[in-house]
Amino acid sequence: MSFKNNIFFQKVRDYSVSKEIFELHHNPEYDMLLTFPKPSLEKLPSYYESDDYISHTDGKRSLFEKLYHMIKNVALKNKLKLINAQSPKGRILDIGAGTGDFLVVAKNDGWQITGIEPSTKAKTIALNKGVSFAENLAVLEDQSFDVITMWHVLEHVPNLEEYISELKRLIKPNGTIIIAVPNFKSFDAAFYGKYWAAFDVPRHLWHFSKTTISKLFAEHEMNVTRVLPMKFDSFYVSLLSEKYKTGKMNFIRAFFVGWKSNLSGKRTKEYSSHIYIIKNQ
């Protein structure tokens, strides 16, 4: 893959940590956005150093955090139902496992679990829940997993091509990879523009469309067989976007925008976030 001939799209601020301004560049071949400049591997971890980075904590300090965890519990049940529909219970790898809640649910349902998580803080919480981790992908054996999941993780990886190659190496023949990522072509993305929280620069290095995911995985002989909406994401993202735009969370307005985004998605098939079911050839 080659990300050349990119076109300036817009400027976006890192609202949650550094307050720095980054650019988004559009690649027409893959119909994707790239964060520019991309932070160095040495500097990138500093952009995650915040108590407000919600996926790295089990905190319920505010109404927003309580709401997040309430929705997460519903999402966990939906994720379990989804993986059970893709494969008989076997080995599952969750990349970006966070505090481990999804793997705990999968383990309790009979799956053999392995997690990957770079955050020491989140990993420590997960270990106390009985989650098993591998240090990195390189130590894992070829074709060793029936299902691999990445819930809002692919947009964070520095070397996209290398990572997808590793997924191809690790998944069993006819195995399933499940990728969830934000969709910059959604109604809420267009509505909030530079304030759209799911841009989340520079932690999100890549910003995907349906065309992007299909092309990237097809180049590694893997096919997208189904695309599903993540309808809760429009409300969560709209809440954060309201905060970035106005300085406060306007729950009523965010709910209205989230509802309108899902309504638009029903017509256009462009939701705030998508889940991609990808089969290995």
Tens digit of pLDDT for each residue in 22-41? 999 999 999 999 999 999 99
Burial of 18 (0-12, 13-18, 19+ CB in 10 A): middle
In this prediction, residue 74 carries a pLDDT of: 82
Find which of 56-60, 118-122, 211-215 is predicted with most confidence, using mean pLDDT.
211-215
pLDDT of residue 264: 98
- Determine whether 24 is exposed, middle or buried from the number of CB atoms within 10 Å of its CB (0-12, 13-18, 19+): buried
* Whole-number pLDDT of residue 4: 79
**Which amino acid appears at position 119 of this protein?**
S
State yes or no: pLDDT of 134 exceeds 60: yes
pLDDT 10s digits, 235-276: 999 999 999 999 998 999 999 999 999 999 999 999 999 999
* CA–CA distance, 193 with 213 (Å, rounded to integer): 22
Domains of the chain: 7-42+60-230+273-280 (3.40.50.150)
